[in-house]
Amino acid sequence: MTAVADARELLAAHPVATTPDRELRAARFDAGLAFVHFDAGFGGRGGSISDQVDVEEVFTAAGAADWSARNVIGLGMAAPTIHAHGTDEQKRRYLRPLFTGEEIWCQLFSEPGAGSDLAGLATRAGPADGGWRVSGQKVWTTLAHVARWGLLLARTDPEQPKHRGITYFLLDLTTSGVDVRPLRQLTGEAEFNEVYLDDVFVPDAAVLGTVGGGWPVAMTTLMNERVSLGGRSVPRGSGPSVGLVETFREALAAGRAGDAELDRVMRLWIRAEAARLTNQRAAEQARRGTPGPEGSIAKLEMAEGNKAIYDLCVELRGADALSYRGYAEVRPDAAAVHGGSGDVSYDYLRSLANSIEGGTSEVLRTVIGERVLGLPPEPRADKDTPWSQLRRS
Ligand X SMILES: Cc1cc2nc3c(=O)[nH]c(=O)nc-3n(C[C@H](O)[C@H](O)[C@H](O)COP(=O)(O)OP(=O)(O)OC[C@H]3O[C@@H](n4cnc5c(N)ncnc54)[C@H](O)[C@@H]3O)c2cc1C
Tell me the catalytic residues: 225
What does DSSP say about strands 124-128 and 192-203: parallel, antiparallel, or unpaired? unpaired
User: Measuring CA to CA, which residue among 188, 179, 136 is closest to residue 325?
Assistant: 188
Task: Report in angstroms the alpha-carbon separations of 361 from 280, 312, 377, 383, 390.
Answer: 22, 20, 17, 22, 26
Beta-bridge partner residues of 151: 107, 170
**Cα(289)–Cα(71) distance, integer angstroms:** 21
Report, in Å, the least distance between residue 138 CB and ligand X: 6
Report, in Å, the least distance between residue 321 CB and ligand X: 21
Closer residue to ligand X in complex, CB, 10/309: 309
Q: Using CB atoms, what's the residue nearest to ligand X?
A: 115
Report, in Å, the least distance between residue 355 CB and ligand X: 8
DSSP 232: -
Q: Under a CB-based contact definition with an 8 Å cutoff, are residues 149 and 172 in contact?
A: yes
Binding residues vs ligand X (CB under 6 A): 106-107, 109-110, 115-116, 140-142, 192, 353, 356-357, 359-360, 362-363, 366
User: Measuring CA to CA, which residue among 55, 78, 67 is closest to residue 4?
Assistant: 55
Closer residue to ligand X in complex, CB, 116/285: 116
Report, in Å, the least distance between residue 71 CB and ligand X: 12
Task: Report in angstroms the alpha-carbon separations of 87 from 46, 207, 215, 216, 352.
Answer: 17, 10, 17, 16, 38
Closer residue to ligand X in complex, CB, 115/340: 115
CA-based angle 391:392:393, to the nearest 5? Answer: 135
CA 167, 173, 175, 180 torsion-angle sign: positive
Q: Under a CB-based contact definition with an 8 Å cutoff, are residues 14 and 24 in contact?
A: yes
Report, in Å, the least distance between residue 304 CB and ligand X: 13
Closer residue to ligand X in complex, CB, 28/155: 155
